[in-house]
């Protein structure tokens, strides 16, 4: 009969007191997705009660540099006094440096993996996520959201976004802030409100639908009101404007694409980011053509068909490319 995996059983395993048979059983048990969350939760609690030694990397680095200098000094002295004496190998110092850097990198990687969980969407896919505090996030296609695996702390709520998402943040009685960090050198801090964030390689934007948020970028900090739009270029240049209809920016949740004098060059970015396809533009003149309208589409075929009717352009899909046929 297989043993029941409890918290105490896993603590015994983390203490290194489990037998070979018990280790083998736990290793097989934790591979099941239903058991993985419980395993990591127990591991986090066990680590809080059994603080492990964490190498002071900065101090170790400086000690290592001193060893190299001392070694070079001894080496030069030896070469001066005994030129025919066999030289000491230097390769072990390089190996030690590489080993130290690898150890630090692996420690950081496993720490991030254990204490955080990442939700991802593929091309053409959207996903609704309910966080531990009751807040809701609607993740657009080709996007990812990283959140604490074991819930938020008692001091702040913080997540990381790559791609595009719509947030509906729940206001807590203790006024705990909610922070969204991005790869585009800006973050958004709120108490409780509805807003949208776009953060991809070509730049980012923040649209406020309801409430109040604090935009924090490299150039400036902006307290945003409903209808405010902040855009950020890939170089971190920030621009502020207002939108009469900010809800249009989140209509992708209803599988609807809204274009207002959108160039075909911009359409190419949208198709690549949402569907992973390359829109081939025959020349620069066509790239400047614009389209306007609201187009319902659940997939790339529906989107191209509706755009085709509105623009008098024909599109042909070939593998990972979309060809414009005039």
Task: Give the three-class secondary structure for 203.
Answer: strand
What is the per-residue pLDDT across 17-69, written as a single tens digit (0 to 9) for each?
777 777 777 877 777 777 777 887 777 776 666 654 444 545 555 555 566 66
**Residue spans per domain, the chain:** 7-49, 57-113, 121-246, 255-325
Output the pLDDT for position 88. Answer: 47
Output the pLDDT for position 96. Answer: 53
CB-neighbour burial class of residue 56 (10 A; exposed 0-12, middle 13-18, buried 19+): exposed
Do 116 and 146 meet the contact criterion of CB atoms below 8 Å apart? Answer: yes
Q: Which two tokens stand for residue 156?
A: 């702040």
Q: How many helices (H) and strands (E) does the chain have?
A: 8, 18
Do 278 and 268 meet the contact criterion of CB atoms below 8 Å apart? Answer: yes
Calpha distance 209→174 (Å, rounded): 23
What is the per-residue pLDDT across 250-288, written as a single tens digit (0 to 9) for each?
999 999 999 999 999 999 999 999 999 999 988 888 899
Output the pLDDT for position 55. Answer: 46
Output the pLDDT for position 149. Answer: 84
Q: Which two tokens stand for residue 18?
A: 């489990």
Output the pLDDT for position 108. Answer: 47
The pTM (predicted TM-score) of the whole model is 0.67
What is the per-residue pLDDT across 111-165, written as a single tens digit (0 to 9) for each?
566 788 999 999 999 999 999 999 999 999 999 999 998 788 777 899 999 999 9
Examine the pLDDT at 247 and tell me if it is beyond 90: yes
The CA–CA distances, whole Å, from 91 to 68, 87, 94 equal 12, 12, 5
Average confidence (pLDDT) over 219-238: 91
If you ran DSSP here, which 8-state letter would residue 66 be given? H
Provide the pLDDT confidence category of residue 87 given band limits of 50, 70 and 90.
Answer: very low
If you ran DSSP here, which 8-state letter would residue 2 be given? P
CA 202 to chain centre: 16
For the CA atoms of 103, 107, 109, 112, the dihedral, rounded to the nearest 10 degrees, stands at: -170
Output the pLDDT for position 110. Answer: 52
The answer to whether domain 121-246 has CATH 2.60.120.1440 is yes
Average confidence (pLDDT) over 232-248: 91
CATH topology of domain 255-325: Phage tail protein beta-alpha-beta fold (3.55.50)
Provide the pLDDT confidence category of residue 73 given band limits of 50, 70 and 90.
Answer: low
């Amino acid at each position: 009969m297989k043993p029941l995996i409890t918290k105490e059983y896993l603590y015994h395993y983390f203490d290194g007191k489990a037998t070979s048979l018990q280790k083998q059983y736990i290793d097989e048990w934790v591979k099941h997705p239903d058991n993985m969350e419980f395993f990591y939760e127990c591991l986090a609690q066990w680590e809080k009660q059994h603080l492990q030694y964490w190498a002071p990397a900065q101090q170790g680095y400086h000690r290592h540099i001193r060893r190299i200098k001392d070694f070079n000094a001894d080496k030069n002295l030896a070469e001066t006094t005994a030129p025919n004496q066999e030289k000491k190998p230097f390769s072990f110092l390089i190996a030690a440096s590489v080993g130290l850097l690898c150890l630090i990198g692996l420690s950081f990687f496993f720490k991030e993996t254990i204490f955080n969980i990442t939700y991802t969407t593929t091309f053409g896919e959207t996903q609704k996520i309910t966080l531990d505090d009751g807040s809701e996030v609607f993740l657009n296609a080709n996007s990812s959201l990283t959140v604490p695996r074991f819930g938020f702390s008692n001091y702040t709520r913080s997540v990381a976004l790559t791609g595009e998402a719509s947030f509906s943040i729940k206001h807590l009685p203790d006024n705990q802030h909610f922070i969204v960090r991005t790869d585009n050198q800006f973050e958004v801090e709120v108490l409780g409100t509805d807003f949208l964030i776009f953060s991809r390689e070509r730049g980012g934007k923040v649209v406020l639908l309801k409430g109040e948020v604090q935009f924090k970028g490299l150039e400036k900090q902006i307290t945003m009101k409903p209808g405010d739009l902040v855009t950020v270029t890939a170089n971190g240049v920030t621009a502020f404007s207002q939108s009469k209809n900010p809800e249009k920016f989140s209509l992708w949740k209803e599988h609807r694409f809204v274009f207002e004098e959108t160039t075909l060059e911009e359409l190419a970015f949208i198709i690549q980011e949402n569907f992973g396809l390359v829109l081939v533009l025959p020349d620069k003149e066509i790239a400047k053509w614009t389209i306007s309208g609201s187009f319902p589409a659940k997939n790339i075929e529906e989107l191209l068909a509706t755009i085709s009717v509105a623009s008098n352009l024909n599109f042909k899909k070939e593998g990972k490319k979309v060809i414009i046929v005039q």
